[in-house]
Amino acid sequence: MQRIGVFVCWCGTNIAGTVNIEKVIAAAGEMPGVVYAKDYQYMCSAVGQNLVKNTIKEQKLDRVVIASCSPRMHEATFRKTAKVAGLNPYLVEVANIREHCSWIHKNKEEATKKAIALTRAAVAKVALNTALIAGEIGVESRALVIGGGIAGIQTALDIAEAGYEVDIIEKSPSIGGKMAQIDKTFPTLDCSACILTPKMVDVSTHPNINIYTYSELENVKGYVGNFEVTMNQRARSVNMEKCIGCGICTDKCPSKKAKSEFEEGLRNRSAIYTPFPQAIPNVPVIDREACIKFKTGKCGLCETVCPAGAIEFSQEDTKITKKYGAIVVAIGYDIIALDKFGEYAYTNHQDVITSLEFERLTNAAGPTGGKLVRPSDHKKPKKVVFVQCVGSRDKTERGKTYCSKICCMYTAKHAMLIRDKYPDIETYVFYIDVRTPGKNFDEFHRRAVEEYGVNYIKGMVGKIFPDGEKLQVHGVDALTGDTIKIDADMVVLAAATKAKEDAEDLGRKLSISTDTNNFFTEAHPKLKPVETHCAGIYLAGACQGPKDIPETVAQASGAAAKAIGLLSKDKLVNNPCISEVDEKICSGCLACTKICPYDAITSKVITFNDHGKITKRVVAQVNKALCQGCGGCTVACRPGAIDIKGFTNKQILAEVDALCR
Amino acid sequence: MTRVKVIPENKKNIIDKIIEMSGENIRDCMQCGKCSAGCPASDGMDLLPHQVIRLLQLGQIDRIVESKSIWNCASCFTCAQRCPRNIDIANIMEAIRLTIIRCVGNSRLKADDVPSKVDCKMPQQAIVSGFRKYNK
Amino acid sequence: MSVEAKETVMGNKNEFEPLIVAFCCNWCSYAGADLAGTSRLSYPANVKIIRVPCSCRVNANFVLRAFQRGADGVVIAGCHPGDCHYSTGNYYTRRRFSLLTNFLEYVGIEQERFKVDWISAAEGNKFATVMNDVLEKVHRLGPNRKLRDARWKR
Amino acid sequence: MNMKYSYYPGCTLKTKAQDLEKFALDSAKTLGVALQEQKEWQCCGAVYPLATDEIATKLSSVRSLAEAYQKGEKLVTLCAACHHVIKRVNEDMKHKEDIRKKVNNYLQLPNDYEGECEVIHYLEMLRDEIGFESLAQKVKKPLKNRKIGAYYGCLLLRPSKVMKFDDPENPSIIEDFIKALGATPIIYPYRTECCGGYLAIDQKDVVEKMTQNIFESASKYGVEEIVTACPLCKYNLEISGFGDENNISISYFTELLAEALGVK
């Protein structure tokens, strides 16, 4: 006869407040196989765990049910406890009487009844549990970082410093990301390039780091410790080995009408181009859509002038497949398109710009050499209006419901930079709320108001009317209830941040989930902020939600630490709850092989003795390393030969029966 | 200035009625003022649209009823078109107007007054609209 | 339904306590149910949840067994299509159980008693709504007697 | 080309705005479009009833919609106010179950009406059904060298979620129309700002301020003529007197159309 122990947790008043623990204990004592039932205030505490441990030994328990919070919370904890007590960890089941019971129901009698039913189901299931032993898998000690912005750069440097190989895959021709475009950084106003470019150089020279620019992730196979990643390196049309980065080709290129992505379209670039002078790698790329040679077959001037003979028009995309133990996703963010915000006249007036465009306009390396002028007529503006929350905190389909988090700070920065350099320019900031939590952040914003004389107006802008050379801004001061008209020369819009267009698609390739805004979902909003639900894949930076640079860097180092922790292991423990074929029953139809998402089921031939006659037969076989334990095959199996350990047919039916009693 | 009570007990019913009639959730409003900033009829208003919503949120219905703003609203839907919180402010204005004019004798535009307000060029559309908006 | 008919159902509501068995996938819907708990959203105690690794783990047998043993309604909840933790599991669920729904109707179990739905880990609200919805429908239908095993008394 | 539509005129077009209608009907004939006036149309009410509990004021629109649907035709409107009301009521019938049920219970039509009919404004008919390109080909007297500003008003554009007429802040349909007639469209910032609408009846001072803004803006950008699609907009703009002050004439878009097609 089995010896099952039931432990009921009060969780303080969380459970005991609505569930009559005594009654649950009494009922559990009557359940078949149960020899011991006991309660405690906090079962997950050290004292509670000791109670479980000691009881297992004293009562010689061979199975344990913990009635407590969700197994997603503490199943792992109690399995460990059992293991310490010498019991196989898979002989533990958790009955969820908190999230699924005491927190839902207010009627004590009802809740108690349900708690008993849930405990009964767990007891019925655990009675059929078997000891499971987890297998081991090796770990490829190399990490992949997707995205070469500041998040990816920091992650890669940290992992490389720990002594592991890292590859960075970056979509654009150079690493650097959004931070490379930015002029100054808040709240210290140090120059962005001055702190970023040294890190970019570190990345490019680190012996453990490999950079794949102009490359995209194509598909991902495998699992934690053993990801197999295929990427597509787009044809650069320039030989990376031969190119010496002299820049003659970009100078001579006759096609100079393409909009520079790096300059946010404020300047044109040639068809063969390096995005910006500090680009890494410092090797140009030919934009085939703009290149005359590719469009008409004539030209090839770059090839003629290249002193190194590095131009290769015939280059083709190459596929690279490599194995990685861990993956860090750091693809960053974008800002929303403003074509739906017609009232701000962004699409039909050049002097209405986004904040990112403003960064380029004030940047010493930007299209105006850092001189603040209106894009339309290159005159110095006299009045600049900033509008915050353009599309942020917006419930309509044209905006985003969340706060973009960085705009309050960068707008204060922009206004401050203007007032610092040109005290004669008036600046106005329209805001809904100023949100500046963060070290030295609010002080920064107050400085803009108090020392730099930036006019903050609580209220929004209704419409911007182009009015000759001026922009007539109609706003409101919500505090006094005055409507406001400003004849501005320039308007800067703080457009909402958004997830990258391809985030969802990438998420699908990696089997990690995205939220309703297409930001990647962390495994736990508080306690697992850099992990995803997929083991071995971590998140860094703004692809998980809007973030500023300090936060991004902190998370990047966090993700790196997690990846290092994983890579430092020689072996990983497998999930033992995987499929198993009963060869005696298997008919060899192999229906299961077709539905397995991991190609974990193959066939094999077995010989067996049929009343003295030796015959051969095809049966299915499960690859223990590949199977992830979804259980889809068990349903496809007509004879019922495949079952999944930990969730066997018998176990689930026992639960059904127990619940329906 | 006198101290006011937030959502006075005796105003709860009428506010609920206004919310129901308008079909809008006034709690969505975060007072950004975009409606007021763009309102083409704001010139003659003593309360701006966002202030009307704020007073509704606080239950100060009397101050709204006394104001001329609700009658200045031309239902042009500029505010509704741009509201980042998806509130159709025109619906709320209408609901407030209706709670007033639906009381017997409260019509703002009396049939007898119409001839004096109309000239020979005024389109029927204006008269019918005026009646629908100001008379019950 | 006429007004009178509605009243009789309401009258019975006090005596009839339906049982709903919900199979929830570990990654999305079970977490969604947890979230419903964390958010203190209420749904009736008659809903009891069984955790499965993926909605595609649920065998039609399990559903039939539940009805046989006296459940008045069965819900299968998985990740949204495209979001399956195992990439494609819920697509199998969708196909398998559209067949089962037809079969159940054939054997006389009302379609409203059985529901397959997609509830993500972030949709605590939806979890509560779906459960309340199914319960309301089952309430209207009354106890399940068609498949119930006579020997099995609840 | 032979196109057939049900046509809803509305009261103003039968009285004060006969120009708007006459030119529209004559032009339609020239363009090979048959606009069949509905037999027993009733006034749409001129303003869309915004309150959720108003049903009776939506019935007349539904009658027209149901009749057009029965004939299997699209319903063409001409007056901006009528278009606004009928289109929004139609959306309600499509999407708001509560209203649909009450209206159908009330009307007791042979078949329940569920918003199936498509309502289009005359301008939409020109753009989407005939096409501005083929319209341009039929122009006999191009309106060369005329600087025309479109005045859109509110009712056609907003709320854009329902009206789906054009971009609510940067519309282009009337400008494209003006271009098709051979004239030069002038874009000025106040072309989508409200003229005051029905405030004309009770608050002329407010309307005056609003129309003044519109004229100032139009004049600054060199507009010589304003065209509009709404009788009330036209009235408000005309009565203000700013047009004469700024030497800007105001007409219906249909008048322009008829002129260009040589049927004025």
Pairwise CA distance, residues D154 & B79, whole Å:
11
Residue C15 has pLDDT above 80, yes or no: no
Minimal Cβ distance to D169: which of A343, A466, A472: A343
Q: Is the pLDDT of residue D1 over 90?
A: no
Residues of chain B with pLDDT under 50: none
Can you tell me the distance from the alpha carbon of D6 to that of D125, in angstroms, rounded to the nearest whole number? Answer: 12
Nearby residues of B110 by Cβ (< 8 Å), 6 or more positions away:
B135
Return the pLDDT at C3: 31
Angstrom CA distances, A392 to A345, A503, C16, D201, stand at 18, 19, 49, 40
- Which tens digit of pLDDT belongs to each residue from D10-52? 999 999 888 889 999 999 999 999 999 999 899 999 999 999 9
Q: Do B122 and D200 touch (CB under 8 A)?
A: yes
Site of tokens 């196109």: D3
Number of folded domains that form chain A? 5
- Separation of alpha carbons A538 and A558, rounded Å: 9
Alpha-carbon span A461 to C24, nearest angstrom: 48
Question: Looking at the predicted structure, is the pLDDT value of residue A441 above 70?
Answer: yes
Q: Which residues of D touch A483 (CB under 8 A)?
A: none
- Kindly state the average pLDDT of the residues A278-299: 95
Strand ranges, E, within A454-600: 455-458, 461-467, 470-477, 482-488, 490-495, 497-499, 537-539, 571-573, 579-581
pLDDT band at residue C150 using 50, 70 and 90 as cut-offs? low
**Percent of chain D that is helix, strand, coil (3-state, to 5):** 50, 10, 35
Nearest CA to CA, how far is B65 from chain A (Å)? 18
Does chain C touch chain D (at least 3 C-beta pairs within 8 Å)? no
Residues A483, B37: C-beta atoms closer than 8 Å = yes
Q: Do B132 and D49 touch (CB under 8 A)?
A: yes
Q: Is residue A312 part of a domain?
A: no
Cβ contact, residue pair C56, A107, below 8 Å: no
CB-nearest to A99 from C37, C61, C154 is C37
Name which of A101, A114, A630 is nearest C56 (Cβ-Cβ): A630
Alpha helices in D18-151 (DSSP H): 18-30, 59-70, 80-95, 97-107, 122-124, 132-138
Reply yes or no on whether the pLDDT at A53 is more than 60.
Answer: yes
CA distance A518 to A497: 12
* Residue A256 domain boundaries: 248-305
A387 and A486 in a single domain? The answer is: yes
Same domain, A467 and A389: yes
Is there a contact between D220 and A467 if contact means CB atoms under 8 Å apart?
yes
Q: What is the pLDDT of residues C77-92, one digit of tens each?
A: 999 887 788 878 999 9
CA A384/CA D189 separation, integer angstroms:
20
Give the burial class of B135: count Cβ atoms within 10 A of its Cβ; 0-12 exposed, 13-18 middle, 19 or more buried.
middle
Residues of chain D contacting residue A342, judged by C-beta atoms under 8 Å apart:
167-170
Determine whether the interchain pair D170/A466 forms a contact, defined as Cβ–Cβ distance below 8 Å.
Answer: no
Residues A451 and A347 both lie in one domain? yes
Of the candidates A103, A117, A653, the beta carbon closest to that of C65 is on A653
A399 in contact with chain B, both atoms CB, cutoff 8 A: yes
User: Quick one: pLDDT band at residue C10, thresholds 50, 70, 90?
Assistant: very low
- Chain A contact for C53 (CB, 8 A cutoff): yes
Contact between A489 and A471 under an 8 Å Cβ cutoff? The reply is yes
Given a cut of 70, is residue C154 above it in pLDDT? no
**B31 close contact with A: CB closer than 8 A:** yes
Report CA Rg, chain A. Answer: 31
C151 contact A CB<8A? no
The shortest CB-CB distance from A104 to any of C37, C65, C87 is to C37
d(CA D88, CA D82): 10
DSSP 3-state of D243:
helix
**A188 pLDDT more than 50:** yes
Q: Where are the domains of chain B?
A: 9-134
Q: What is the pLDDT of residue A534?
A: 82
Q: Which residue on chain D is closest to B70 by alpha carbon? A: D199
Residues A422 and A350 in one domain: yes
Residues A615 and A525 both lie in one domain: no
Nearest to A656 among C62, C86, C154 (CB): C62
Chain B: nearest CA to D201, how far in angstroms? 6
Query: How many residue pairs bridge chain A and chain C with CB atoms within 8 Å of each other?
Result: 140
The three-state DSSP-derived secondary structure of chain B is CCCCCCCCHHHHHHHHHHHHHHCCCHHHCCCCCHHHHHCCCHHHCCCCHHHHHHHHHHCCHHHHHHCCHHHHCCCCCHHHHHCCCCCCHHHHHHHHHHHHHCCCCCCCCCHHHHHHHCCCCCCHHHHHHHHHHHCC
Residue A552 vs residue A532, higher pLDDT: A552
Distance from CA of A444 to the nearest CA of C (A): 36
Give C8 to chain A, closest Cα distance, Å: 24
- What are the chain A neighbours of B31 within 8 Å (beta carbons)? 432, 478
| Interchain CB distance below 8 Å, C21 and A660 | yes
Do A285 and A218 sit in the same domain of this protein?
no
Shared domain for A343 and A465, answered yes or no, is yes
pLDDT at C152: 55
Q: What CATH number should be reported for the domain holding residue A154?
A: 3.50.50.60
Rounded to the nearest angstrom, the gap between the alpha carbon of residue B2 and the centroid of all alpha carbons in its chain is 24
From chain B, which residues contact D within 8 Å (Cβ)? 20-23, 40-41, 43-44, 71-72, 74-78, 80-81, 88, 90-91, 94-95, 98, 108-109, 114, 117-119, 121-130, 132-134
Q: Which of A341, A347, A467 sits opposite D189 (nearest CB)?
A: A467
Residues 6 or more apart in contact with residue A385 via CB below 8 angstroms? A427, A428, A429, A430, A461, A471, A473, A475, A486, A488, A490, A491, A492
Phi and psi at A148, nearest 5°, equal: -115, 30
Contact partners for chain D, using 3 or more CB pairs closer than 8 A, are A, B
Nearest-angstrom CA–CA distance, A113 and A115: 5
Does B touch C (3+ CB pairs < 8 Å)?
Answer: no
Binary contact (D202, B130; C-beta < 8 A): yes
Task: Mutate one of B25, B28, B34, B67 to test the A interface: name it (highest A CB count within 10 A).
Answer: B34
Report the CATH number that the domain containing residue A587 is assigned in CATH. Answer: 3.30.70.3270
H or E stretch covering D75: strand D75-77
Angle, helix A46-58 to helix A71-84, in steps of 10 degrees: 50
The architecture in CATH of the region B9-134 reads Orthogonal Bundle (1.10)
Q: Are residues A359 and A370 in the same domain?
A: yes
What is the signed CA dihedral for C106, C111, C115, C116, rounded to 10 degrees? 50
* Final residue in a domain of this structure, among A60, A93, A126: A126
Burial of D35 (0-12, 13-18, 19+ CB in 10 A): buried
| Gap from A465 CA to chain D (nearest CA, Å) | 6
Q: Is C99 on the interface with A (CB under 8 A)?
A: no
User: What's the gap in Å between the CA of A117 and the closest CA on chain C?
Assistant: 8
**Mutate which of C43, C46, C47, C54 to test chain A, going by most A C-beta atoms within 10 A?**
C54
Q: What percent of chain D has pLDDT over 70?
A: 99
3-state secondary structure of A608: strand
Whole-prediction pTM? 0.83
A545 and C CB contact within 8 Å: no
Interface test with D, best of B125, B127, B133 (most D CBs within 10 A): B125
* pLDDT averaged over every residue in chain D: 94
Domains of chain D: 4-123 (1.20.1050.140), 132-261 (3.40.50.1860)
pLDDT digits (tens, 9 = 90+) for A453-508: 999 999 999 999 998 889 999 999 999 999 999 999 999 999 999 999 999 999 88
Do A602 and A539 share a structural domain?
A: no
Q: Is the pLDDT of residue D114 over 70?
A: yes
* Domain final position from A441, A473, A498: A498
Contact B38 A474 (CB under 8 A): yes
Q: Is residue A370 part of a domain?
A: yes
pLDDT for D146 equals: 95
Q: Do A468 and D168 touch (CB under 8 A)?
A: no
- Cα pseudo-dihedral D27, D33, D39, D41, rounded to 10: -70
Would you call A545 an interface residue with chain B, using a CB distance cutoff of 8 Å? Answer: no
Q: Which domains does chain C have, with CATH numbers?
A: 17-141 (3.40.50.960)
Q: To the nearest whole angstrom, how far is the Cα of A343 from the nearest Cα of chain D?
A: 6
Chain B residues touching residue A460 (CB < 8 angstroms): 32-34, 37, 84
> Same domain for A484 and A358?
yes
In a domain, A148, yes or no: yes
Is A370 found in the same domain as A229? Answer: no
Q: Which long-range contacts (CB under 8 A, 24 or more apart) does A35-39 make?
A: A35/A3, A35/A4, A35/A5, A35/A59, A35/A61, A36/A3, A36/A4, A36/A5, A36/A6, A36/A61, A37/A5, A37/A6, A37/A7, A37/A8, A38/A5, A38/A6, A38/A7, A38/A8, A39/A7, A39/A8, A39/A9, A39/A10
Closest chain C C-alpha to A214 CA, distance in angstroms: 28
- Average pLDDT in the A599-623 region? 90
d(CA A36, nearest CA chain B) in Å: 53
DSSP category for residue C33: H
Is A468–D169 a contact, with Cβ atoms under 8 angstroms apart?
no
Let me know whether A339 and A453 are in one domain: yes
Which residue in D has a C-alpha nearest to residue B43's C-alpha?
Answer: D206
Report the CATH number that the domain containing residue A80 is assigned in CATH: 3.40.50
